[in-house]
């Protein structure tokens, strides 16, 4: 009998160790799967008569996305392109839109900040009164990544509803009748 024999019982006894070894090999060899996701929070502030938007996206993903318009763009807290804000102000509303009663609403880019590996963008939409139907369309990064998912959280002081948007489902619809009246 050989010194070391690989038998079916060897595989049964060591299945978890073998699976762990294969998994580790994939990680070490770079066969990891990247997760493509953004989060957008839309808060309706009735007192301010506006929608306040916060968009969180991975910095490197947004940089690659913006490079479709400017190949030299650089997003980095310590070394950022001078035209980064202007480019985001121009591009984001093309891929993130809000409409009320089938009328597109203007989105104002207020600014951004870097938090670890995320870029957080702040936007605002004037909304004097809540419409019967509000539609949020978010297609950010869909043109780059087939598996991109954009999570949208809609909030008021008394209501919260979340949506998972992807290439096959790009819109979130909020109906006024769904929101509890205070």
- 29-69 pLDDT, tens digit per residue, is 444 447 789 999 999 999 999 999 999 999 999 999 999 99
Stated as kind and residue range, the H or E segment containing 116 is none
Q: pLDDT class for 27, splitting at 50, 70, 90?
A: very low
Asked if residue 13 has pLDDT above 80, the reply is: no
What pLDDT, in 10s, does the model give residues 150-174?
999 999 998 999 999 999 999 999 9
Q: Kindly report the pTM of this predicted structure.
A: 0.79
How large is the angle between the packed helices 59-66 and 84-95, nearest 10 degrees?
A: 90
By percentage, how much of the chain surpasses pLDDT 70?
81
Whole-angstrom distance, CA of residue 125 vs CA of residue 151: 19
Asked if residue 11 has pLDDT above 50, the reply is: no
Asked if residue 18 has pLDDT above 70, the reply is: no
Q: Best-predicted range by mean pLDDT among 22-26, 73-77, 151-155?
A: 151-155
Whole-angstrom distance, CA of residue 51 vs CA of residue 41: 10
CB under 8 Å, gap of 24 or more: what pairs does 162-171 form? 163/136, 165/138, 165/139, 166/142, 167/142, 170/137, 170/138, 170/139, 170/142, 171/135, 171/136, 171/137
pLDDT score recorded for residue 80: 87
Asked if residue 105 has pLDDT above 50, the reply is: yes
pLDDT score recorded for residue 137: 96
- Sole residue written with tokens 């839109």: 97
Q: pLDDT class for 6, splitting at 50, 70, 90?
A: low
pLDDT score recorded for residue 55: 97
């Amino acid at each position: 009998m050989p010194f070391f024999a690989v038998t079916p019982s060897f595989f049964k006894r060591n299945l978890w160790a073998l699976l762990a070894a294969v998994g580790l090999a994939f990680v070490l060899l770079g066969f990891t799967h990247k997760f493509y996701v953004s989060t957008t929070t839309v808060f309706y502030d009735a007192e301010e008569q506006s929608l306040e938007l916060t968009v969180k996206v991975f910095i490197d993903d947004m940089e690659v996305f913006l490079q479709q318009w400017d190949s030299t763009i650089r997003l980095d807290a310590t070394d950022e392109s001078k035209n980064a804000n202007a480019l985001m102000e121009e591009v984001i509303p093309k891929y993130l839109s809000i409409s009320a009663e089938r009328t597109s609403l203007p989105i104002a880019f207020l600014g951004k900040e870097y938090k670890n590996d995320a870029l957080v963008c702040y936007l605002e939409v004037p909304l004097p009164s809540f419409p019967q139907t509000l539609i949020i369309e978010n297609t950010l990064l869909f043109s780059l990544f087939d598996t991109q998912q954009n999570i949208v959280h809609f909030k008021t002081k008394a209501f919260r509803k979340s949506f998972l948007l992807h290439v096959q489902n790009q819109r979130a619809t909020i109906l006024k009748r769904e929101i509890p009246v205070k």
